[in-house]
Amino acid sequence: MLLKQPRSFRWKRAFKQKIMCTTKTKKLTSPHFGFFGIKVLETGKLQYHQIESIRRILIRFCKKSSKLWFHPIFSVSLTKKPSEVRMGKGKGKFDRWVANVIAGQILIELENVSPLKAGILFKKICNKSPIKLCFLRRIL
């Protein structure tokens, strides 16, 4: 089961989408729910296994004392044809779900975590993610 898998689609094989940066997402400068947040600095795609590895780091490090919010939604399906197959004969089989992330979007929010622990977590998460991230603290 995916972290946030789409409920249902009319067709499983979707068109390839262009990821465009909108003005609405750039206005989000601080976390809404938690005290600490991780913000995306580049537009790109996050695969399920990348987000799952980030989630496992957070759960192992924070235990049950802190609260977590994950905002990426896996809504784009990618297809792949097997190697050494002739051209034509359709698009290919469903391969994996991908989440489109836009620059300025808040990816993860944390609460009830000390600032020192949050900094260590951020360094570990940056090593796992393929895109540039920024660590945020809510302004009161």
Q: Is the pLDDT of residue 1 over 50?
A: no
Q: Name the residue ranges covered by the structural domains of the chain.
A: 31-79+94-137
CATH architecture of 31-79+94-137: Alpha-Beta Complex (3.90)
Q: Is the pLDDT of residue 138 over 50?
A: yes
37-95: per-residue pLDDT in tens? 899 998 888 888 888 888 888 888 887 778 888 887 777 888 889 999 998 888 888 88
Residue 121 phi/psi, 5° resolution?
A: -60, -45
Q: Are 90 and 9 in contact (CB under 8 A)?
A: no
The predicted pLDDT at position 132 comes to: 92
